[in-house]
Amino acid sequence: MIESTVLNPETYPKPDSLILELFYHSTSIVVTPEQTPFHLGRDNADSGLSISCEFTSRQHCAIEFHGGKFLLNDFSRNGTFVQLNRTTAFRVQNETSPLIGSGCFKLGAVITSDDDPERILFRIKTFTKKL
């Protein structure tokens, strides 16, 4: 006889229970799936997070939520440099990349160090909805 254990599917995180935390300078922002697309760029009027950097486009990129994942969608001239966890940074330009776990990204320029003041830290978390 084979025994098996069935886990309660209610214990798994559901896509709508994910949040994205962004940290830039002294600003901390929580983005829920319902708040996407969340725009980043130099344009104060259209950006959820405004970045004043010479290499940042007015409407540089957006964070979207599709298929249970947060995605960074770059539509800039200079690209976005993304570092997932502690991996090597890579460039995303006019394409989409998933944001996984935690890490950082920088709009328009290479991440120069672990204490680069222009990088945007991110962390994806799950939360439990109270009934």
Tens-place pLDDT, residues 10-45: 555 554 589 999 999 999 999 999 999 999 999 877
Q: Give the distance, in angstroms, between the CA of residue 28 and the centroid of all CA atoms in the same chain.
A: 13
Name the residue with higher pLDDT: 27 or 1: 27
Tell me the pLDDT tens digit for each residue of 91-105: 999 999 999 999 999
pLDDT at residue number 86: 83
Instruction: Indicate whether 82 pLDDT > 80.
Output: yes
Q: How confident is the model at residue 56 (pLDDT cuts 50, 70, 90)?
A: very high
Q: How far is the C-alpha of 105 from the C-alpha of 22, rounded, in Å?
A: 10
pLDDT value at residue 3: 54
Strands (E), the chain: 18-24, 27-31, 38-41, 49-50, 61-66, 69-74, 80-84, 90-92, 96-99, 102-107, 120-126
Distances, alpha carbon 68 to alpha carbons 1, 2, 20, 72, in Å? 37, 33, 12, 13
Average pLDDT of the chain is 88
| Ordered structural domains, the chain, with CATH | 15-126 (2.60.200.20)
Q: Specify the pLDDT at position 127.
A: 76
Question: What pLDDT is stored for residue 4 in this prediction?
Answer: 47
Residue 113 and residue 127: Cα distance in Å, rounded?
Answer: 31
CA distance 59 to 131: 38
